[in-house]
Amino acid sequence: MMKLMLLFLACCLAPLALGAQEEPEVITGKADAGRHLYYSAPLGTNGLSCVHCHTDFDEAAQDDGLIRAGHSLYGAASRPNWWGREPEQANAYANIGAAAAVCVEHFQRNPQRLTAQQLVDLRAYLRFINRKQQRQSLALTSGADRTGEYLGFDEGDRIKGRELFYATCHSCHPNARSGIGPALPSDREPAYYAKKVREGDGLGAQIAGLDPNAYDPSSGQFMPYFSVDRLSNRN
């Protein structure tokens, strides 16, 4: 009788033990930890953080006086795709966290990328700020001059230009000196600066069709480009 009872218990417990072994571990993301990562420069190796290029609030409703290269990520978690990759494409990013990981690796120069926990935490925060639903894709735009000459930037208002410098460039090139980015030369033609602003690390030139090979993640360049919908030619 005892042997029958032991056999019965063994048969009942075996599926439970097998199920426990086969059940994958679920990692839960925490929005507060993700927010810390969003503002954390030590996440990368060059001093950049997510907020240097993307706000986490509604820019139309709030204005902190800065012009960032990237669009706000407020509500971005509900977009159908990120970085211009269509949802049906085989190489489309699975979620906004996967797309953000590319920024960490390339722009923040972190070769270790994000840990699994950091990835779900960052994604949890981006979902948390998804207060404004965006159901449409955000088209990748540029403004790079396909001739590569960048003419017509010789005239401008120096006072207005100073204000724009502190709104767009100062955080990476403090007072035009070395910071996150290198010191800026003061003896170049306007076309030189226009090219840097519009092409950045080469991605702007690639998107504009100027040079399909301009964007090289292994080149060491990491400056984001400013598209015309972020900084117009008049600015």
Torsion of CA 158, 163, 164, 167, to 10 degrees: 160
> What value does the mean pLDDT take over residues 82-111?
87
pLDDT at 4: 40
Query: CB under 8 Å to 124, separation ≥6 — which residues?
Result: 29, 30, 31, 33, 34
Average pLDDT, the chain: 86
Interval 176-189: pLDDT, tens: 999 999 999 999 99
Tokens of 29: 């993301």
Query: CB under 8 Å to 107, separation ≥6 — which residues?
Result: 44, 48, 53, 222, 224
Interval 197-220: pLDDT, tens: 999 999 999 999 999 999 998 888
> What value does the mean pLDDT take over residues 118-123?
94
d(CA 174, CA 27): 40
> What value does the mean pLDDT take over residues 106-117?
90
pLDDT at 25: 55
- Which of the pair, 173 or 10, is modelled with greater confidence? 173
Domain boundaries along the sequence of the chain: 31-128, 140-235
Separation in Å, CA 138 to CA 67, 76, 117, 129, 235: 18, 9, 27, 17, 22
- Which of the pair, 155 or 120, is modelled with greater confidence? 120
pLDDT at 154: 85
What number does CATH give the domain 31-128?
Answer: 1.10.760.10
d(CA 72, CA 58): 7
Interval 36-68: pLDDT, tens: 999 999 889 999 999 999 999 999 899 999 999
pTM, full prediction:
0.83
> What value does the mean pLDDT take over residues 140-159?
88
pLDDT at 39: 96
